[in-house]
């Protein structure tokens, strides 16, 4: 092999090695950081493995928000109009958090079946519905518009 060819081969091998290490590490990091998304119905049907950290999305049920006086605790219920999951959160809720609004929460279901949220997201735009929430409502066969116009979202 000519010297410059050997050098070129060396560099190509170096690049290939670097790339495969990078790809391996990337895929490992990816597999460690997947947040699954579940709908309230899936949670109610026990599809979520115990102790798994996940995201849940749905509408905040009308009349379900209970704030504890003197602390930052909030309890509310999220629903896809087929099933409901109670959520507990300590902290400051986003601006657009309110009854009848689609939200996404991140956290774990505890022993009592309450979703302990570490983060609650509501979206910027009041007309906007998160794709996750929309998927949850579609999955439960409920169209958000119908229920919102009815005011009380009480299942099918």
Contacting positions for another protein (CB under 8 A)? 4, 7-8, 10-11, 15, 18-19, 22, 25-26, 29-30, 32-37, 55, 67, 69-72, 90-93, 95-96, 121, 123-126, 128, 130-132, 135
* Complex with another protein: residue 10 or 154, whichever CB lies closer: 10
* Complex with another protein: residue 31 or 150, whichever CB lies closer: 31
* Complex with another protein: residue 84 or 132, whichever CB lies closer: 132
Shortest distance (Å) from residue 143 CB to another protein: 16
Please name which of 117, 3, 141, 2 lies closest in space to residue 60, comparing C-alpha atoms. Answer: 117
Q: Which residues pair with 53 in a beta bridge?
A: none
Shortest distance (Å) from residue 17 CB to another protein: 11
* Complex with another protein: residue 26 or 146, whichever CB lies closer: 26
Shortest distance (Å) from residue 152 CB to another protein: 20
Shortest distance (Å) from residue 139 CB to another protein: 10
Q: Which residues pair with 111 in a beta bridge?
A: none
DSSP 44: H
* Complex with another protein: residue 21 or 110, whichever CB lies closer: 21
Residues 127, 156, 119, 93, CA torsion sign: positive
Q: List own/partner pairs for 41-48 with CB under 8 A and 24 or more apart.
A: 41/80, 41/82, 41/83, 41/136, 41/139, 41/140, 43/83, 43/85, 43/109, 43/115, 44/83, 44/84, 44/85, 45/83, 48/109
Shortest distance (Å) from residue 15 CB to another protein: 6
């Amino acid at each position: 092999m000519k010297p410059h060819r050997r050098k070129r081969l060396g560099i190509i091998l170096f690049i290939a090695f670097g790339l495969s290490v990078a790809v391996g590490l990337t895929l490992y990091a990816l597999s460690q950081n997947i947040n699954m998304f579940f709908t309230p119905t899936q949670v109610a049907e026990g599809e979520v493995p115990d102790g798994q950290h996940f995201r849940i999305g749905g509408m905040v049920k009308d009349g379900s928000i209970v704030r504890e006086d003197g602390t930052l605790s909030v309890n509310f219920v999220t629903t896809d109009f087929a099933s409901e999951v109670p959520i507990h959160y300590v902290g400051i809720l986003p601006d657009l958090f309110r009854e009848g609004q689609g939200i996404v929460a991140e956290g774990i279901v505890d022993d009592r079946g309450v979703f302990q949220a570490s983060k609650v997201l509501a979206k910027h735009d009041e007309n906007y519905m998160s794709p996750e929430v929309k998927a949850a409502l579609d999955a439960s066969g409920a169209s958000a518009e119908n229920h919102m116009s009815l005011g009380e979202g009480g299942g099918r």
